[in-house]
Structure 1
Amino acid sequence: MAMRVLVGCKRVIDYAVKIRINPTKSGVVRKGVKHSMNPFDEIALEEAVRLKEKKVASEIIAVSCGTQQSQETLRTALAMGADRAVLVKYGTEDEPDMGPLAVANVLAKLAVQENVDLIILGKQAIDDDCNQTGQMVASLLGWPQATFASELTVDGPKLAITREVDGGLESIKVTLPAVVTADLRLNEPRYATLPNIMKAKKKPLTTLDPGSLGVDIADLTSRQEVLSVEDPPVREAGSKVANVDELISKLKEAGVV
């Protein structure tokens, strides 16, 4: 069976950037800061491309929910091997991102509209670390889910998944259509080559708004309110001790022993 695969590609502040809190302490500075594709989403996309190389997948659709600048992320996805891309445009650089529940509703609507067989997402985004969207999409669609996947094998109408859990590894099978979220050790994403970057410019990229999919963002806003964003406290300098007795004495003073 040749599957149609939908992959979520979130635009986030690059992992190598030193984060700065904005003057109002309502969030972090995003303007003029380098952004890139969420690393876990890169892994999800790489897995989809590998499925297509094995002739298991017939088409890969990359999706991003965000500002116009998210087109850059989708062009990267196209250069890595996605066939076409969809930008669900929302917000500005000064506004918070679309929340996990809103994104899940958008992806669920697109999955039905595009008649996909498999949704692969990163297990979480490195900016908010919510780890919610994949599970929410599966629930909205009523599809089986396999989260934290470190290995994926197609077995007829089913997927054999190895999951990373607290106690080690867990092996499960899910029936397609399904939702999979990618963990760090699923694969190592490829770099987009210059020829593929040039080809990506000619691949189709469609822009939609949430309303055209029947998604009302106002009804799906976060139930949480950010009161303040603060820098972590600066760690106090340590001190050297001359011997074990002095160490024990200081530990007693601190109430540790």
Structure 2
Amino acid sequence: MSLKIYVAGHKKFSPPFDATYVPIIGGMSGYEEKGEVTDFIGDDTGDNISHLNNIFCELTVQYWIWKNDHTSDYVGLNHYRRFFQKKENGTNLFYKYIEGVKVVCEGNEIAAGDDFDFSNVDMIVPVKHHAEPVLQQYARFHVLEDMFLISEQIKKIQPDYVSACDFYFNHCNYFHHTNMIVAKKELFDEYSSWLFSLLMPLAEDKFFVNYDKLQMRVMGFLSERLLSVWILKNRKNLAIEERSYVQIKEL
């Protein structure tokens, strides 16, 4: 079994000292200090949407994995400050460069590469973040109209998901925070194809042009809710594991 978990960051960071984890810069097409991340890969090669990182956040890396990793059996997306918590096997080793020398250092313990067992699991996602009702919670932190726009997209583009969307928007009080997943590559591709079929046409409408820098990251915020819609629709046919994640300190 080959597994790669891509660790997305928008700047230089200290990746895990574990071959399973692959550091990747999101928004590399606009990154000005490429010389400081020469041993990182970027999301600006092959088929990519790197130039849309300001509205898609780490999803530009998800898109890159979907379109460009053709060899891994399993793939994942983590964030440079957020990793899945270990179950049995952990690592607290990370690395960074000091005056050109690679130095291994200790940090928070996270799941090691060999801690992911897919013998009875199809996809690993973060534990549900329980809050207030979905629409109410989104409105408190973001622009509520975004949710109505994505609901209309689902009706037009993915009508089989209308019932799941309506149920989630009106009867649930949780979402899967962080856009982190690890899954069989074909399932990762299936989910990504569905997700971007909704988000890419919506991005072309440029409804967010007057948003501030935070709310401009709208596609990343929406996808945190859309994962729950997708799971609701497909949960009977999939074995999905929820796992806590660790917020680590920068080294």
With structure 2 as the length reference, what TM-score do the two structures score? Answer: 0.32
Structure 1 length normalisation: TM-score?
Answer: 0.31
